[in-house]
Amino acid sequence: MKPLLPVSIGLILLAACSPSPKNAPGNLTSSSPSAASAAPSVDKIPAGEYRTDPAHTALTFTVNHLGYSHYTAQFASLDAHLTLDPAHPEAAVLKVNIDPRSLRLPTPPKGFYDELMGKQWFDATAFPHITFASTKIEKTGVNTARVTGDLTLHGITKPVVLDVTFNGGYPGMAGFDPQARIGFSAKGAFKRSDFGMGYGIPAPGSQMGVGDEVAFTIETEMQGPPLKP
C-alpha cells in the first residue's frame, strides 16, 4: 500500500546555532564542565522581530505506515515571524506560514505527490496555506517552554501544543553575522482526522493503512535586529 501522509506544523521561538565553539568568541570549549552544564542565556539577545533563516530550518513529520515503519517527509517552505522580548518570553508572538506544495517525499511513486495535493488530502488548490499562530506560552524550565497555538490545516483550525527548547543565540557578530540570531528545537503531534484528513486510517483493530497521529519536529534558526555599533 502506498505511504500516505499528512502534515504537521507548528512552531515557535528561540534558539540558535552560532559558530562552532572553537571559533565563537567568548565560548567555552566543549570539554569544560561548566560549558556542558550551563543553560543557554538570553541576556544579550535584543528584543525585536525575528524571522526564520530558511538555510537553517527544517520541518519533518512522520506517520505510521501499516505498522511496519514511520513514513517520514518534510516541508521545504516554512516562514515564521516572531516578536520577542527576552525579558518577557511568555509575551512572545509567533506566526507561521507553510506552503503545502513544498512537500518533499522520499522517492515518491509516480503520481503520488499529485494525489497528496488533491482533494482527499491537502487539497492545496483550495487551501494553499498551512498556518500556526501562538495563543499562549508557558515556561517549563530554564530553556524550555510549552507553546499553544491555532493550527489551520485543510481549512480547519484546532489548537496544537509545541514543546520547545531554546538552544542559544547572540546579538550579532561584526564581520561574520551582523544580525541577531536565535535557535530552537520543537516537537509536537496531532490527529489528522481532526483536520478532515481521515482517508486511509486503519479500521479498529487493524494496522492496514496510514496512522491517524502525525508527529513532527522542527529545527530552526531565526535572524533578528542588526548588531548595534
Full-model pTM: 0.80
Q: What is the mean pLDDT of residues 35-44?
A: 60
The domain segmentation of the chain, as residue ranges, is: 33-226
Q: What is the pLDDT of residues 157-198, one digit of tens each?
A: 999 999 999 999 999 988 888 999 999 999 999 999 999 999
Q: What confidence tier does 223 reach under pLDDT thresholds 50, 70, 90?
A: very high
Question: Can you read off the three cell numbers belonging to residue 77?
Answer: 517552505
Q: What pLDDT is attached to residue 167? A: 96
Write the CATH number of the domain with boundaries 33-226: 2.40.128.110
For the chain, strand residue ranges (E) read 48-52, 58-65, 69-75, 78-84, 93-98, 103-104, 130-139, 144-153, 156-170, 179-191, 210-226
pLDDT at 36 over 70: no
pLDDT in tens, 89-135: 999 999 999 999 999 999 999 999 999 999 989 999 999 999 999 99
Chain centroid to Cα 100, Å, comes to 14
